[in-house]
Structure 1
Amino acid sequence: MTERIHLAVALDGAGWHPAAWREESARPTELTSPAYWRELVQTAERAGVLFATLEDALSLGGRSYEADAETRRDRARGRLDAVLLASFLAPLTERIGLVPTVTTTHPEPFHIATGLQTLDHASHGRAGARFVAGANAQERANFGRRSDPTGSPTDLASVGSLRVEDHPEWLAAFREAGDVIDAVRRLADSWEDDAIIRDTVTGKFLDRDRIHNLEFEGEFFAITGASIVPRSPQGQPLVTVLAHLRVPYRLAAEYADVVFVTPADAAATAGILAELAEASAELRTEPEPLRVFADLLVLIEDTRAAADQAWARLQDRAQLITDARVVVGTADDVVAEIAALADAGVDGIRLRPARLPADLAAITEQVVPLISDAGILASDNGAPTLRERLGLPRRASRFADQTSRFAKQETRA
């Protein structure tokens, strides 16, 4: 029996195909226009999409699998900062979750945390983040603080089918990613819900005992102090991770609320779910089970012949190399893939439109109605926050019980 699943979309520039910007339906002059992104996200929201992820990277070539990504002139280049873009979109939307991509290797964890907490306030509880452990050579050069003494691959994309475990640089990058996520969660907890008093009679704005300094001492950074942002509507933003291999699976199992996986087909999903379950049993301390979303990269036309023709045109212009299963066909073809993945036991599907805005329009106008009518799509439960719409409770501050315990001790004394 097909299970009900959530639907998300992954938005990246002119689309996930590198030649998408050359399509007649594309709008390459608007890729850094806030209005362009507003239209995309509002389109997804009107269709009832649960959340949209916004791609980002810290180098000109982005997260391309191409060795010459930095120097190519036939690719769309230039992007808006994803966290800032999400904050711009927050007051222009009402229901859709906003999940910007955040690289963990170079930005300061304190800045990441405050940006995401601010987004959660601006969106009234619809913030998340897709954390990426990135450490390619151009990113290092852009920040100028790290070198690559190991001689290991310059990008996770170049690892391909090789074992990430064989590369010390990437083991370190994923350890650091775990520390960053942990620090972001702890900083979000550093203000308790009732820390702000605003008592004009006594002149007491804060209960300072309910704001807690972190003493975080990790392998890669240290933090002493509390967040500058008061506790946000969700308590903590939704934490998501994309995972393909054992090390990223373990990162997701230990730290994430949602993991995006890329099965070759529905049959391959069972092995991925088993590996995630094994890692979760060993590592997971989060109170809720890890939610699993399967990624599909889609190109949709009214007929398969038209879809094949469009795909061939794109591939003639630039070869797509991707980690995700590609579905080229009609809306019915995409729905069949979604139904198979739902039967395989995933919690959600994240669709990557090959072309924007064309394939997003096809998703919202054709795919969503079909999966709704088929009883595959989970309905909006009316909850106000992204976490709650996913069935995840609002996170209580880890320090709240501690404050309560101290208060009781002082009362007894």
Structure 2
Amino acid sequence: MTLQVAVALDDQSFAAQDWVAAVERADDARLDFVTFDDRFGRQGPDAVLVASRVAPVTRHVGLVPVATTTHTEPFHLSTALATLDWVSQGRAGWQVRVSSDPAEAALLGLRAPLGFDDLFTEAADAVEVVRRLWDSWEDDAIIADVATGRFIDRDKLHYIDFTGEHFTVKGPSIVPRPPQGQPVIAALTHQARVWERLDVDVYFVTPADVDSAAKIVRQLPAEKKVFADIVAFLDADQETAIRRRGATTSDAAVFAGTAAQLADLIAGWEPSGIAGIRLRPGDHSDLTAITRDLVPVLRDRGLFEPATTTTLRERLGLPVAVNRYSPEAANA
């Protein structure tokens, strides 16, 4: 069994070329996807906009920006992410994040921070609203009939009529259904009370070893994809990597060593049942080392094989997203 490999990008640069260069490296290495970090209090460009910028210059790699549900309207999230899926021709995803930071709340001045339960209730509702809005156009809603002057079949646009504790959304969306139907939704989770509240397609987890990774996988439904996070400092010799790592701490396991040694670690974690690894480069040079040095080792050992499928859903082995408002869904 081969694993899927992703890379987490976190940069404060406002230079578009810096992002293009980084994602092109991941694309050339045929990594499965990259994630773009973001939060309200972070200096740097908007992650969804960055993903949209690099989409036209890449052809393979999936693009999964962080977008925070707290203080954000789900209608706006749905349209931005649907647009990303169109621009990338079906390679879009979304990493859900919540914010409990009072400083971030103060930036918007809308309300005080919510507690844990309310944050994730709101996030779960936001995910549901976004999913419904993506389905609010049936796949063949656009008819573009010049003879009759009809562009859209109005019978194939649907009001989602969502009413929850934190917002009410009627719809339909202003963007046609994305090419994937449902772009891939992911979340970083450290504990059961998070994944029990957020029903997403991909969970990023932070195990310390193969046993803890296996324990997490056993607690999640079999159809969910689990990616283990590893912070990676890679060098030609382990001593240099350890020196660069210094006193780095993280929620995820921190590795310092050679590409071959990291491949050994990944091979040791493969029996846990994880779908893949998301590597967090220790610094900018480590992204180059991952794509130039680690990927060939993983391929030689049969641990990683670049996908030939086009969309991110297909690449991750997720089922076809049937539109909930279609006749097929109604008859299921």
Same fold per superposition (TM over 0.5): yes
Match 2:243 to one of 298, 309, 317: 309
Match 2:276 to one of 348, 351, 366: 348
Report if aligned partners of 1:83, 1:100 keep a CA contact under 8 Å in 2: yes
1:346-383 deviations in Å (ceiling 9; x for gaps): 00100000101x00111011110011010111331x22
Give the secondary structure class of the aligned counterpart of 2:323. Answer: coil
One-letter identity of the residue aligned with 2:52:
S
- Return the offset for 1:393: 3.0
- Return the offset for 1:391: 1.4
| CA–CA distance in structure 2, aligned partners of residues 364 and 251 of structure 1 | 35
| CA–CA distance in structure 1, aligned partners of residues 209 and 329 of structure 2 | 49
Give the secondary structure class of the aligned counterpart of 1:231. Answer: coil
Aligned to 1:261: 205
- Return the offset for 1:402: 7.4
Give the secondary structure class of the aligned counterpart of 2:60. Answer: coil
- Return the offset for 1:403: 9.2
Aligned to 1:193: 139
Match 1:394 to one of 306, 314, 320: 320
- Length-normalised TM-score, structure 2: 0.96
Aligned to 1:17: none
| CA–CA distance in structure 2, aligned partners of residues 247 and 104 of structure 1 | 17
Residues 266, 403 of structure 1: alpha-carbon distance in 2 compared, 3 angstrom cutoff = closer
- Return the offset for 1:134: 1.6
Q: How does 1:31-42 map to 2 (within 5 A)?
A: 31-42=13-24
One-letter identity of the residue aligned with 1:47:
A
Return the index of the structure with the highest Cα Rg. Answer: 1
Aligned to 1:272: 216
1:205-249 deviations in Å (ceiling 9; x for gaps): 111000001100011111012000011110011000110012112
| CA–CA distance in structure 1, aligned partners of residues 255 and 330 of structure 2 | 53
Report if aligned partners of 1:213, 1:225 keep a CA contact under 8 Å in 2: yes
- Asked if 1:339 corresponds to 2:291, the answer is no
List structure 1 segments (4+ residues) > 6 angstroms apart after TM superposition.
402-405
Report if aligned partners of 2:217, 2:272 keep a CA contact under 8 Å in 1: no
Give the secondary structure class of the aligned counterpart of 2:107. Answer: helix
- Return the offset for 1:389: 1.2
1:320-368 deviations in Å (ceiling 9; x for gaps): 3311000011111211111111121100100000101x00111011110
Aligned to 1:250: 196
Aligned to 2:294: 367
| CA–CA distance in structure 2, aligned partners of residues 369 and 231 of structure 1 | 37
- Return the offset for 1:404: 7.5
One-letter identity of the residue aligned with 1:305:
E
Match 1:97 to one of 54, 58, 62: 62
Report if aligned partners of 1:210, 1:403 keep a CA contact under 8 Å in 2: no
Q: Which has the higher contact order (CA 8 A, sep 6+)?
A: 1
| CA–CA distance in structure 1, aligned partners of residues 197 and 55 of structure 2 | 28
% identity of equivalent residues? 42
Instruction: Give the superposed CA RMSD.
Output: 1.5
Residues 97, 403 of structure 1: alpha-carbon distance in 2 compared, 3 angstrom cutoff = closer
One-letter identity of the residue aligned with 1:339:
A
1:373-411 deviations in Å (ceiling 9; x for gaps): 10111331x222111111123312100027977xxxxxx
Report if aligned partners of 1:55, 1:100 keep a CA contact under 8 Å in 2: yes
1:239-273 deviations in Å (ceiling 9; x for gaps): 00110012112134xx2111000001112112211
Residues 133, 404 of structure 1: alpha-carbon distance in 2 compared, 3 angstrom cutoff = closer
- Length-normalised TM-score, structure 1: 0.78
1:286-324 deviations in Å (ceiling 9; x for gaps): xxx100100000000101111122223xx3xxxx33110
Give the secondary structure class of the aligned counterpart of 2:178. Answer: coil
Match 1:52 to one of 17, 26, 34: 34
| CA–CA distance in structure 1, aligned partners of residues 328 and 309 of structure 2 | 29
Number of aligned positions between the proteins: 331
Q: How does 1:47-196 map to 2 (within 5 A)?
A: 47-59=29-41, 62=42, 78-148=43-113, 169-196=115-142
Give the secondary structure class of the aligned counterpart of 1:32. Answer: coil
Give the secondary structure class of the aligned counterpart of 1:396. Answer: coil
Report if aligned partners of 1:257, 1:291 keep a CA contact under 8 Å in 2: yes
